[in-house]
Amino acid sequence: MEQTNLEVRQLVKEYPGQRALDGISLSVPQGSFFSLLGPSGCGKTTTLRLIAGFEQPTAGEVILKGEVVNHRKPYERRVSTVFQNYALFPHLSARANIEFGLKRQGRTNFGSRVEDVLKLVGLATKENRKPAQLSGGERQRVALARSLVLEPDVLLLDEPLAALDPKLRKQMRVELKGIQRRAGITFLLVTHDQEEALSMSDQLAVMNEGRIEQVGSPEEVYFHPRTKFVAGFLGAVNWIAGVGVRPEATRIARLPENHGARSSPARVTNSVFLGDCFQVLCQLDSGEEAVAQVPRSFATFSPGEAVHICWSPSDEILVP
Protein backbone atom coordinates (compact mmCIF):
# COMPACT_ATOMS: atom_id res chain seq x y z
CA MET A 1 0.00 0.00 0.00
CA GLU A 2 1.17 3.50 -0.74
CA GLN A 3 2.28 5.41 2.29
CA THR A 4 0.64 8.76 2.84
CA ASN A 5 3.16 11.49 3.44
CA LEU A 6 1.03 14.53 3.77
CA GLU A 7 -2.60 14.74 4.58
CA VAL A 8 -4.90 17.66 5.14
CA ARG A 9 -8.30 17.15 6.69
CA GLN A 10 -11.26 19.49 6.38
CA LEU A 11 -8.99 22.50 6.15
CA VAL A 12 -10.82 25.82 6.52
CA LYS A 13 -9.21 29.25 6.33
CA GLU A 14 -11.22 32.39 6.88
CA TYR A 15 -10.05 35.94 6.46
CA PRO A 16 -12.20 38.86 7.56
CA GLY A 17 -15.20 38.81 5.23
CA GLN A 18 -13.87 36.00 3.11
CA ARG A 19 -13.64 32.23 3.20
CA ALA A 20 -10.44 31.32 1.34
CA LEU A 21 -10.63 27.59 2.03
CA ASP A 22 -13.90 25.81 2.51
CA GLY A 23 -12.99 22.49 4.04
CA ILE A 24 -10.53 20.75 1.77
CA SER A 25 -9.13 17.27 2.29
CA LEU A 26 -6.22 15.73 0.46
CA SER A 27 -3.76 12.94 0.86
CA VAL A 28 -0.46 12.99 -0.94
CA PRO A 29 1.37 9.66 -1.32
CA GLN A 30 5.06 9.31 -0.45
CA GLY A 31 7.40 10.18 -3.28
CA SER A 32 4.70 11.44 -5.63
CA PHE A 33 4.40 14.61 -7.64
CA PHE A 34 1.09 16.17 -6.64
CA SER A 35 -0.34 19.39 -8.05
CA LEU A 36 -2.95 21.84 -6.86
CA LEU A 37 -4.42 23.40 -9.97
CA GLY A 38 -6.86 26.25 -10.08
CA PRO A 39 -7.48 29.86 -11.06
CA SER A 40 -6.09 32.68 -8.95
CA GLY A 41 -8.00 33.10 -5.73
CA CYS A 42 -9.10 29.46 -5.58
CA GLY A 43 -7.21 28.85 -2.33
CA LYS A 44 -4.32 26.81 -3.65
CA THR A 45 -1.60 29.12 -2.34
CA THR A 46 -3.43 29.43 0.98
CA THR A 47 -3.35 25.64 1.23
CA LEU A 48 0.40 25.67 0.64
CA ARG A 49 0.95 28.38 3.26
CA LEU A 50 -1.06 26.43 5.82
CA ILE A 51 1.02 23.33 5.15
CA ALA A 52 4.26 25.31 5.45
CA GLY A 53 3.00 26.83 8.69
CA PHE A 54 3.11 30.49 7.63
CA GLU A 55 -0.55 30.78 8.54
CA GLN A 56 -2.87 28.97 10.91
CA PRO A 57 -6.03 27.24 9.66
CA THR A 58 -9.37 28.39 11.05
CA ALA A 59 -10.31 24.72 11.31
CA GLY A 60 -9.00 21.36 10.17
CA GLU A 61 -5.70 19.54 10.40
CA VAL A 62 -2.39 19.35 8.61
CA ILE A 63 -0.84 15.92 9.06
CA LEU A 64 2.77 15.13 8.18
CA LYS A 65 3.89 11.51 8.36
CA GLY A 66 0.95 10.72 10.62
CA GLU A 67 1.53 13.60 13.03
CA VAL A 68 -0.79 16.60 13.34
CA VAL A 69 1.52 19.58 12.92
CA ASN A 70 -0.93 22.47 13.30
CA HIS A 71 0.84 23.76 16.41
CA ARG A 72 4.31 23.53 14.88
CA LYS A 73 6.11 26.65 13.68
CA PRO A 74 7.46 26.71 10.10
CA TYR A 75 11.00 26.04 11.40
CA GLU A 76 9.75 22.97 13.25
CA ARG A 77 8.11 21.36 10.21
CA ARG A 78 9.96 19.05 7.88
CA VAL A 79 8.57 20.79 4.82
CA SER A 80 10.34 23.25 2.60
CA THR A 81 9.03 25.82 0.18
CA VAL A 82 10.22 27.01 -3.22
CA PHE A 83 8.74 30.49 -3.37
CA GLN A 84 7.22 32.02 -6.44
CA ASN A 85 9.94 34.66 -6.68
CA TYR A 86 12.43 32.25 -5.10
CA ALA A 87 13.07 34.47 -2.02
CA LEU A 88 16.81 33.81 -2.24
CA PHE A 89 18.88 35.67 0.32
CA PRO A 90 20.44 38.43 -1.77
CA HIS A 91 23.44 38.89 0.55
CA LEU A 92 24.49 35.25 0.31
CA SER A 93 26.13 33.32 -2.52
CA ALA A 94 24.32 30.47 -4.22
CA ARG A 95 26.22 28.00 -2.07
CA ALA A 96 25.58 29.94 1.15
CA ASN A 97 21.89 30.02 0.28
CA ILE A 98 21.93 26.25 -0.09
CA GLU A 99 23.87 25.79 3.16
CA PHE A 100 21.55 28.12 5.09
CA GLY A 101 19.08 25.43 6.17
CA LEU A 102 21.77 22.87 6.96
CA LYS A 103 23.55 25.35 9.23
CA ARG A 104 20.31 26.21 11.01
CA GLN A 105 19.89 22.52 11.77
CA GLY A 106 23.33 22.63 13.34
CA ARG A 107 24.76 20.18 10.85
CA THR A 108 28.43 20.04 9.92
CA ASN A 109 30.29 18.13 7.23
CA PHE A 110 27.60 18.75 4.69
CA GLY A 111 30.06 19.51 1.90
CA SER A 112 29.43 16.38 -0.17
CA ARG A 113 25.70 16.74 0.23
CA VAL A 114 25.79 20.29 -1.10
CA GLU A 115 27.92 19.09 -4.02
CA ASP A 116 25.39 16.37 -4.80
CA VAL A 117 22.50 18.80 -4.82
CA LEU A 118 24.41 21.32 -6.90
CA LYS A 119 25.02 18.55 -9.41
CA LEU A 120 21.42 17.37 -9.25
CA VAL A 121 20.09 20.79 -10.21
CA GLY A 122 22.95 21.49 -12.62
CA LEU A 123 24.53 24.47 -10.89
CA ALA A 124 28.00 23.25 -10.02
CA THR A 125 29.95 26.04 -11.70
CA LYS A 126 28.08 29.02 -10.34
CA GLU A 127 27.98 28.29 -6.64
CA ASN A 128 29.90 31.41 -5.64
CA ARG A 129 27.68 33.90 -7.40
CA LYS A 130 25.18 36.09 -5.61
CA PRO A 131 21.53 35.75 -6.68
CA ALA A 132 21.70 39.08 -8.54
CA GLN A 133 24.41 37.58 -10.79
CA LEU A 134 22.30 34.57 -11.75
CA SER A 135 19.69 34.24 -14.47
CA GLY A 136 16.06 33.52 -13.67
CA GLY A 137 16.45 29.83 -14.39
CA GLU A 138 19.60 29.59 -12.28
CA ARG A 139 17.93 31.34 -9.37
CA GLN A 140 15.17 28.81 -9.60
CA ARG A 141 17.68 26.00 -9.38
CA VAL A 142 19.26 27.56 -6.30
CA ALA A 143 15.83 27.85 -4.67
CA LEU A 144 15.16 24.24 -5.49
CA ALA A 145 18.58 23.09 -4.26
CA ARG A 146 18.20 25.07 -1.04
CA SER A 147 15.07 23.10 -0.21
CA LEU A 148 16.11 19.72 -1.63
CA VAL A 149 19.32 19.60 0.38
CA LEU A 150 17.24 19.43 3.57
CA GLU A 151 15.47 16.28 2.32
CA PRO A 152 12.08 17.52 3.50
CA ASP A 153 9.09 15.22 3.93
CA VAL A 154 7.31 17.41 1.40
CA LEU A 155 8.68 20.03 -0.94
CA LEU A 156 6.15 22.78 -1.59
CA LEU A 157 6.42 24.70 -4.86
CA ASP A 158 4.43 27.88 -5.30
CA GLU A 159 4.10 28.63 -9.03
CA PRO A 160 7.82 27.91 -9.42
CA LEU A 161 7.88 28.36 -13.19
CA ALA A 162 5.68 31.44 -13.44
CA ALA A 163 8.59 33.88 -13.42
CA LEU A 164 10.45 32.14 -16.26
CA ASP A 165 10.09 32.89 -19.95
CA PRO A 166 7.87 30.43 -21.90
CA LYS A 167 10.68 28.49 -23.54
CA LEU A 168 12.60 27.95 -20.33
CA ARG A 169 9.36 27.13 -18.56
CA LYS A 170 8.73 24.16 -20.83
CA GLN A 171 12.27 22.92 -20.41
CA MET A 172 12.11 23.28 -16.63
CA ARG A 173 8.90 21.22 -16.49
CA VAL A 174 10.80 18.23 -17.77
CA GLU A 175 13.75 18.94 -15.50
CA LEU A 176 11.65 19.50 -12.42
CA LYS A 177 9.91 16.19 -12.92
CA GLY A 178 13.28 14.49 -13.46
CA ILE A 179 14.74 16.03 -10.33
CA GLN A 180 11.73 14.94 -8.31
CA ARG A 181 12.02 11.39 -9.55
CA ARG A 182 15.74 11.18 -8.87
CA ALA A 183 15.53 12.82 -5.45
CA GLY A 184 12.52 10.66 -4.50
CA ILE A 185 11.03 13.56 -2.54
CA THR A 186 7.30 14.27 -2.40
CA PHE A 187 6.51 17.42 -4.39
CA LEU A 188 3.37 19.49 -3.88
CA LEU A 189 3.11 22.02 -6.68
CA VAL A 190 0.72 24.92 -6.89
CA THR A 191 -0.06 26.23 -10.36
CA HIS A 192 -2.72 27.90 -12.43
CA ASP A 193 -1.20 26.48 -15.64
CA GLN A 194 -3.04 23.31 -16.62
CA GLU A 195 -0.31 22.19 -19.04
CA GLU A 196 2.18 22.40 -16.23
CA ALA A 197 0.01 20.36 -13.89
CA LEU A 198 -0.89 17.79 -16.55
CA SER A 199 2.68 17.29 -17.76
CA MET A 200 4.40 16.89 -14.40
CA SER A 201 1.95 15.44 -11.92
CA ASP A 202 1.31 11.90 -10.83
CA GLN A 203 -1.90 13.21 -9.33
CA LEU A 204 -3.57 16.56 -9.31
CA ALA A 205 -6.37 18.27 -7.47
CA VAL A 206 -8.42 20.89 -9.32
CA MET A 207 -9.52 23.66 -6.99
CA ASN A 208 -12.18 26.30 -7.36
CA GLU A 209 -13.49 28.84 -4.87
CA GLY A 210 -11.87 27.24 -1.85
CA ARG A 211 -13.00 23.70 -2.65
CA ILE A 212 -11.51 20.72 -4.40
CA GLU A 213 -13.52 19.86 -7.48
CA GLN A 214 -11.71 16.68 -8.43
CA VAL A 215 -8.61 14.66 -7.59
CA GLY A 216 -7.08 12.17 -9.96
CA SER A 217 -4.35 11.36 -12.43
CA PRO A 218 -3.86 13.84 -15.30
CA GLU A 219 -5.57 11.45 -17.73
CA GLU A 220 -8.49 10.92 -15.40
CA VAL A 221 -9.23 14.57 -14.84
CA TYR A 222 -8.63 15.47 -18.47
CA PHE A 223 -10.73 12.75 -20.05
CA HIS A 224 -13.25 12.22 -17.28
CA PRO A 225 -13.78 15.56 -15.60
CA ARG A 226 -16.45 15.37 -12.97
CA THR A 227 -17.64 18.95 -13.25
CA LYS A 228 -18.07 21.49 -16.00
CA PHE A 229 -15.51 23.68 -14.24
CA VAL A 230 -12.83 20.96 -14.29
CA ALA A 231 -13.54 20.16 -17.93
CA GLY A 232 -13.24 23.82 -18.88
CA PHE A 233 -10.21 24.58 -16.75
CA LEU A 234 -8.09 21.73 -18.10
CA GLY A 235 -8.64 22.67 -21.71
CA ALA A 236 -11.13 24.03 -24.18
CA VAL A 237 -14.44 22.19 -24.45
CA ASN A 238 -17.26 22.49 -26.96
CA TRP A 239 -20.58 22.04 -25.21
CA ILE A 240 -22.90 20.53 -27.80
CA ALA A 241 -26.37 19.39 -26.80
CA GLY A 242 -25.34 18.79 -23.19
CA VAL A 243 -22.16 16.84 -23.84
CA GLY A 244 -18.62 18.15 -24.01
CA VAL A 245 -16.16 17.49 -26.80
CA ARG A 246 -12.52 18.64 -26.78
CA PRO A 247 -11.52 20.65 -29.90
CA GLU A 248 -8.91 18.04 -30.81
CA ALA A 249 -11.66 15.40 -30.87
CA THR A 250 -13.97 17.59 -32.90
CA ARG A 251 -13.99 17.07 -36.64
CA ILE A 252 -15.48 19.11 -39.44
CA ALA A 253 -16.93 17.59 -42.57
CA ARG A 254 -18.92 18.80 -45.50
CA LEU A 255 -21.28 15.82 -45.10
CA PRO A 256 -22.32 14.14 -41.84
CA GLU A 257 -20.09 11.17 -40.96
CA ASN A 258 -21.42 7.66 -40.75
CA HIS A 259 -20.12 4.73 -38.71
CA GLY A 260 -21.67 5.68 -35.41
CA ALA A 261 -20.23 9.17 -35.28
CA ARG A 262 -22.41 11.93 -34.02
CA SER A 263 -22.81 15.12 -35.94
CA SER A 264 -24.51 18.44 -35.84
CA PRO A 265 -25.00 20.96 -38.67
CA ALA A 266 -23.10 24.22 -38.35
CA ARG A 267 -21.72 27.21 -40.22
CA VAL A 268 -18.05 28.24 -40.24
CA THR A 269 -17.55 31.68 -38.68
CA ASN A 270 -13.77 31.93 -38.75
CA SER A 271 -10.64 29.95 -39.49
CA VAL A 272 -7.34 30.73 -37.80
CA PHE A 273 -3.97 29.37 -38.94
CA LEU A 274 -1.91 28.27 -35.91
CA GLY A 275 1.14 26.84 -37.69
CA ASP A 276 0.68 23.16 -37.01
CA CYS A 277 -3.09 23.24 -37.46
CA PHE A 278 -6.11 25.34 -38.24
CA GLN A 279 -8.51 26.40 -35.56
CA VAL A 280 -11.94 26.55 -37.13
CA LEU A 281 -14.72 28.37 -35.29
CA CYS A 282 -18.25 27.35 -36.06
CA GLN A 283 -21.71 28.28 -34.99
CA LEU A 284 -24.06 25.34 -34.70
CA ASP A 285 -27.50 25.69 -36.14
CA SER A 286 -28.76 25.28 -32.57
CA GLY A 287 -26.92 28.50 -31.68
CA GLU A 288 -24.00 27.04 -29.68
CA GLU A 289 -20.42 27.77 -30.67
CA ALA A 290 -17.77 25.15 -31.27
CA VAL A 291 -14.06 25.09 -32.05
CA ALA A 292 -12.33 22.37 -33.99
CA GLN A 293 -8.63 21.76 -34.45
CA VAL A 294 -8.17 20.68 -38.03
CA PRO A 295 -4.85 19.28 -39.35
CA ARG A 296 -3.06 21.51 -41.81
CA SER A 297 -3.21 18.98 -44.63
CA PHE A 298 -6.97 18.83 -44.27
CA ALA A 299 -9.35 20.69 -46.54
CA THR A 300 -9.61 24.37 -45.68
CA PHE A 301 -12.89 25.89 -44.67
CA SER A 302 -13.95 29.43 -45.35
CA PRO A 303 -16.29 31.59 -43.27
CA GLY A 304 -19.94 31.16 -44.13
CA GLU A 305 -19.55 27.59 -45.35
CA ALA A 306 -22.19 25.11 -44.23
CA VAL A 307 -20.54 22.12 -42.54
CA HIS A 308 -21.15 19.34 -40.05
CA ILE A 309 -19.47 19.14 -36.65
CA CYS A 310 -18.68 15.48 -35.98
CA TRP A 311 -17.32 13.52 -33.01
CA SER A 312 -17.15 10.00 -31.68
CA PRO A 313 -19.34 9.06 -28.70
CA SER A 314 -16.25 7.72 -26.94
CA ASP A 315 -14.78 11.24 -26.87
CA GLU A 316 -17.80 12.72 -25.16
CA ILE A 317 -17.36 14.33 -21.77
CA LEU A 318 -20.38 13.74 -19.57
CA VAL A 319 -20.80 15.84 -16.48
CA PRO A 320 -23.78 16.15 -14.19
Q: Which residues bind another protein (CB under 8 A)?
A: 52-54, 73-75, 79-81, 83, 85, 87-91, 100-101, 104-105, 146-147, 150
Q: How far is the CB of 88 from another protein (least distance, A)?
A: 8
Minimum CB distance to another protein, residue 27 (Å): 22
Task: Give least dist CB 91 to another protein, A.
Answer: 5
CB burial readout 270-308, b (16+ within 10 A) else e: ebeeeeebbebbbebeeeeebbbbbeeeeeebeeebebb
Minimum separation from the CB atom of position 98 to another protein (A)? 10
Report whether 207 contacts 24 (CB < 8 A).
Answer: yes
Between 88 and 221, name the residue whose CB sits nearer to another protein: 88
Q: Which is nearer to another protein, 79 or 117 (CB)?
A: 79
- Asked if 38 and 65 touch (Cβ cutoff 8 Å), the reply is no
Beta carbon of residue 155, minimum distance to another protein (angstroms, whole number): 11
Nearest to another protein of 71, 259 (CB atom): 71
CA-wise closest residue to 157 among 195, 185, 115, 127:
185
Q: Compare residues 101 and 225 and give the one whose CB is closer to another protein.
A: 101
Strand ordering across the sheet containing 211-216:
79-82, 154-158, 186-191, 33-37, 203-208, 211-216
Shortest approach of another protein to residue 100 CB, angstroms? 5
Q: Which residues contact 131 (CB under 8 A, 6 or more apart)?
A: 86, 88, 89, 90, 92, 94, 97, 139, 142
In one letter, which amino acid is 271? S
Question: Which one, 87 or 162, has the nearer CB to another protein?
Answer: 87
By beta-carbon proximity to another protein, the closer residue of 64 and 317 is 64
Three-state SS sequence of 258-279:
CCCCEEEEEEEEEEEECCCEEE
